[in-house]
Chains A and B, each alone.
Chain A
Amino acid sequence: MAGGPEDTLEIMSNQTVAWVDLTTQDVELSPLETALQGQFLGARGVGASLLSRHIANASDPYAPGNPLVFSVGPFTGTPWPTGARYHVTFHSPLTGAYGYANSSGVFGPALQQAGYSALIIVGRSEKPIYLEVTPDGIFFRPAEHLWGRGTREVHDALEANGSRVACIGPAGESRVRFAAIINDRGRAAARCGGGAVMGSKNLKAIVVRGKAQRDLPAAFIAEARHAFAKVRDHPNVRGLRDLGTVVLVGPKNRSGDLPARNHQSGQVPWVDRVDALAIARYTYRTRGCYSCPIRCSRLTRVERGPYPGELEGPEYETLDALGPLCWVDDPEVILEANRLCNDLGMDTISTGATIAFAMECHEHGLLADAELTLQWGDPGSVLGLIERIARRQGLGDLLAEGTKRAAQQIGGDAHRYAMQVKGMELPRQEPRIAKGFGLGHATSNRGADHLYALPTIDLAGNLDAARHFFPPQIVPELMEADNEAYKPDLVVLSEHYCAVSDALGVCKFSTAETYALYPEDLAIGLSALWGREVNGQDLLTAGERIVNLERLYNVRLGLSRIDDHLPERFTTEALSIHTFERDASGEVVRSASPIHIGRLNDFEAMLDRYYLLRGWDANGIPTSQTVRRLGLQSYVRGFDAPGD
């Protein structure tokens, strides 16, 4: 694939970028640069380029001049399987560095079908507004009547006549640093605090009205149909379709990869209260995002009791964050906590990890609250803290800052209980068991994240994928979950493939999670769409370019090796994994001796190899040779890349 700026091929018509200034209420339209598509594909890649070029003030994430970029990929809104995703890129208030969030549903497809590849939103409206995005233009509408409302009410108010909505709740308005953007009622562009950036701009919502699907080449539609059937029939998607992502709960608990009590444990003795079968009791329907043959989403309902309500969810990540991580064993409390986070507009992962942090601080005598016990597993504390954080009330004001800043304010040993990297809370894998994930959490440029790398090949037993990508001599060691030797290789490959998936606008459940589709499959589709030859390696190189551009953004801010580290719990404490038995009285007891001890043996060696494979120096900075190889010279401003 020609990737250089010299590339002037006409790739797609009808791809508009809108520069939307909320201060002046001006909109400028321009075609998406074809060179940009060639280099960065779309969505996440285009967002990385636009943020890098237009960031106005990196010392203030809420500076009005900073852009908030909504972008879609070439497959978004097409019949390509899982072509449902959109991307939001911004300077993160949580990490103070590169930030993005990605979500599914039908909002992204509607944006694409309205004719927009990207919205670059700058400025700050004097009063609350929402944007109405249509094929005929972008309009500024007053939103004072919606300010203070939960995301459910905002959807009720704006979702008329086939409109699709992405909005913030009270948490975004009060600039909770991990506030989310909620779209299509139950989907979240959750991570890094994009909701707070939106709130800082007084932008309550974006309402999109698409039109019919745009004209697509017949060859592409044929390839999309073929790929759709391939994903639909692939055995690796079966579990996701049958039970959703919560299918992971039981198996993860057995292997010690179900983080509990703020990662003091990797297992709970009461897993059957919160596993896939327990959640299935509340499930009344499954749902798929736009053009998705996997349909992993569940609609759940609690009919009676203290927490009645309906929800799209919970996902595995949410279930662990608001359940076992806080030692909550009541599924109805978890569902209620999930509903509250969605309605208030907060990232469930960071919310759960922040509450678990508060509970562990309380356990060690560092934190107390006059009204909430902060005891492990206390439903009142979990639900009460969610409300207080979203509205920055009482202790919630401190916790709304995220675990890193809160720990600094609490002082003492509090930093030990802040499970974060670069300021963002860890997602729900246990780095001492899922070691590739541990490395990926540490190296991710948006802070601790499971979807930045999603290195599943070893844990999923995906020997076919391992054989496809890696030399045969390293495959046996690579497939051993506990063997650290080739985890860096796995993370590098997976980071590239995830970046490709995000840039094209597809869901990773069809790619890096299941390998139902390989990069070569995506390349066939993109070739048919663009009318020129692209191969799988071209795509992976584009993925590598995106990861490097995101790294360069952070390097400009002074981030380096020290920021690619896990909380010390993971490198200094071992984790005992047990089996569980029911004794004569029916009580579940764990085995006297562990069946496994989880520990990271040499994290620094993994990091060294990761940098080596990437062409970065020992400090985690791309060398000038790497920058040149990927055609990123124009993005290197304000610092000198180290020599080769």
Chain B
Amino acid sequence: MPVALVRIHIKYHNMLRRLTGVDMQALDLPAGCTVQTALEAISRQYGHHLHEMLFSPNGTVATHLVIFHNGQLTRDDPDGLLLSEGDELMLFPSISGG
């Protein structure tokens, strides 16, 4: 049976844009996927430099990744946040001050 897919959109900012080379991309993922699934998918697509920006060495989502889900800052566990058709993720690498 074919796996149902959902199409989501990801917008990259600042350093993430430089590493991916794109402002935005569409991504087809299996229905029932989470924010974590999406981050793993793009990390596979763009390789370890992006992976290092998205995940900490212990495999959890990096403290420095700021994720907006449909325009709202997400503070939830990325593994528990389900994505639906047409959802948008905005990703910022946070480096702030000093």
Smallest Cβ distance from A508 to chain B, in angstroms? 8
Q: Do B19 and A463 have beta carbons less than 8 Å apart? A: no
Question: Quick one: closest A residue to B19, CB to CB?
Answer: A595
- In chain B, positions 69-98 with a C-beta closer than 8 Å to chain A are 73, 75, 90, 92-98
- In chain B, positions 24-64 with a C-beta closer than 8 Å to chain A are 49, 52-53, 57, 63-64
* Most chain B beta-carbon contacts within 10 A, residue among A437, A459, A462: A459
Question: Quick one: closest B residue to A252, CB to CB?
Answer: B95
Name the B residues within 8 Å of A222 (CB-CB): none
Contact for B95 among A235, A257, A315, A454, CB less than 8 A: A257
- In chain B, positions 1-15 with a C-beta closer than 8 Å to chain A are 13-15
Known: A235-B75, A247-B63, A251-B64. A480 touches B95 (CB 8 A): no
Known: A254-B15, A255-B14, A577-B18. A461 touches B93 (CB 8 A): yes
Stretch at the interface among A238-246, A324-332, A383-391, A532-540: A238-246
Name the B residues within 8 Å of A251 (CB-CB): 53, 64, 93-95
Known: A238-B63, A479-B13. A254 touches B94 (CB 8 A): no
Question: Quick one: closest B residue to A257, CB to CB?
Answer: B95
A456 contacts the other chain (CB 8 A): yes
* Most chain A beta-carbon contacts within 10 A, residue among B13, B14, B98: B98
Q: Do A456 and B49 have beta carbons less than 8 Å apart? A: no
Tally of contact residues, A, Cβ under 8 A: 42
Contact for B63 among A239, A451, A459, A463, CB less than 8 A: A239
Q: Do B73 and A596 have beta carbons less than 8 Å apart? A: no
Name the A residues within 8 Å of B75 (CB-CB): 235
Contact for A513 among B49, B68, B92, B96, CB less than 8 A: B96
A312 contacts the other chain (CB 8 A): no
Q: Do A459 and B96 have beta carbons less than 8 Å apart? A: yes
Q: Do B97 and A513 have beta carbons less than 8 Å apart? A: yes
A602 contacts the other chain (CB 8 A): no
Known: A460-B94, A463-B92, A513-B97. A481 touches B66 (CB 8 A): no
Chain B interface size, under 10 / 10 to 19 / 20 to 34 / 35 or more: 20 to 34
Question: Quick one: closest A residue to B64, CB to CB?
Answer: A251
Q: Do A461 and B13 have beta carbons less than 8 Å apart? A: yes
Question: Quick one: closest B residue to A427, CB to CB?
Answer: B98
Q: Do A456 and B63 have beta carbons less than 8 Å apart? A: no
Question: Quick one: closest B residue to A437, CB to CB?
Answer: B97
Known: A429-B98, A480-B13. A595 touches B93 (CB 8 A): no
Question: Quick one: closest A residue to B68, CB to CB?
Answer: A463
* Most chain A beta-carbon contacts within 10 A, residue among B15, B52, B96: B96
Cα distance A461–B74 in the bound complex, in angstroms: 12
Smallest Cβ distance from A468 to chain B, in angstroms? 12
Question: Quick one: closest B residue to A253, CB to CB?
Answer: B95
Contact for B73 among A248, A257, A459, A464, CB less than 8 A: A464
Cα distance A596–B93 in the bound complex, in angstroms: 15
Q: Do A255 and B98 have beta carbons less than 8 Å apart? A: no
A482 contacts the other chain (CB 8 A): yes
Name the B residues within 8 Å of A235 (CB-CB): 75
Smallest Cβ distance from B88 to chain A, in angstroms? 13
Smallest Cβ distance from A157 to chain B, in angstroms? 33
Cα distance A273–B92 in the bound complex, in angstroms: 26
Question: Quick one: closest B residue to A594, CB to CB?
Answer: B18
Name the A residues within 8 Å of B68 (CB-CB): 463
Q: Do B14 and A481 have beta carbons less than 8 Å apart? A: yes
Contact for A254 among B52, B66, B97, CB less than 8 A: B52
Q: Do B98 and A450 have beta carbons less than 8 Å apart? A: yes
Question: Quick one: closest A residue to B15, CB to CB?
Answer: A255
Cα distance A522–B52 in the bound complex, in angstroms: 37
A425 contacts the other chain (CB 8 A): no
Cα distance A579–B93 in the bound complex, in angstroms: 16
Name the A residues within 8 Å of B15 (CB-CB): 254-255, 481, 596
Cα distance A557–B79 in the bound complex, in angstroms: 58
Name the B residues within 8 Å of A247 (CB-CB): 63-64
Name the B residues within 8 Å of A464 (CB-CB): 73
A184 contacts the other chain (CB 8 A): no
A428 contacts the other chain (CB 8 A): yes
A317 contacts the other chain (CB 8 A): yes
- In chain A, positions 437-491 with a C-beta closer than 8 Å to chain B are 437, 450-451, 454, 456, 458-464, 479-482
Cα distance A507–B66 in the bound complex, in angstroms: 23
Question: Quick one: closest A residue to B71, CB to CB?
Answer: A463
Cα distance A479–B73 in the bound complex, in angstroms: 15
Cα distance A45–B93 in the bound complex, in angstroms: 34
Question: Quick one: closest B residue to A453, CB to CB?
Answer: B97
A307 contacts the other chain (CB 8 A): no
Cα distance A577–B93 in the bound complex, in angstroms: 16
Question: Quick one: closest A residue to B57, CB to CB?
Answer: A277
Contact for A255 among B63, B73, B90, B93, CB less than 8 A: B93
A270 contacts the other chain (CB 8 A): no
A316 contacts the other chain (CB 8 A): yes
Name the A residues within 8 Å of B94 (CB-CB): 251, 459-462
Name the B residues within 8 Å of A513 (CB-CB): 96-97
Smallest Cβ distance from A276 to chain B, in angstroms? 10
Question: Quick one: closest A residue to B47, CB to CB?
Answer: A579
Q: List 13 A-B contacts (CB under 8 A).
A: A239-B64, A247-B64, A248-B97, A450-B97, A456-B96, A459-B14, A459-B94, A461-B14, A461-B93, A461-B94, A577-B18, A579-B49, A595-B19
The 8 closest A-B pairs by CB, nearest first: A461-B92, A461-B66, A460-B96, A456-B96, A481-B14, A255-B15, A239-B63, A460-B94
Which residues of B come within 8 Å of A, CB atoms? 13-15, 18-19, 49, 52-53, 57, 63-64, 66, 68, 73, 75, 90, 92-98
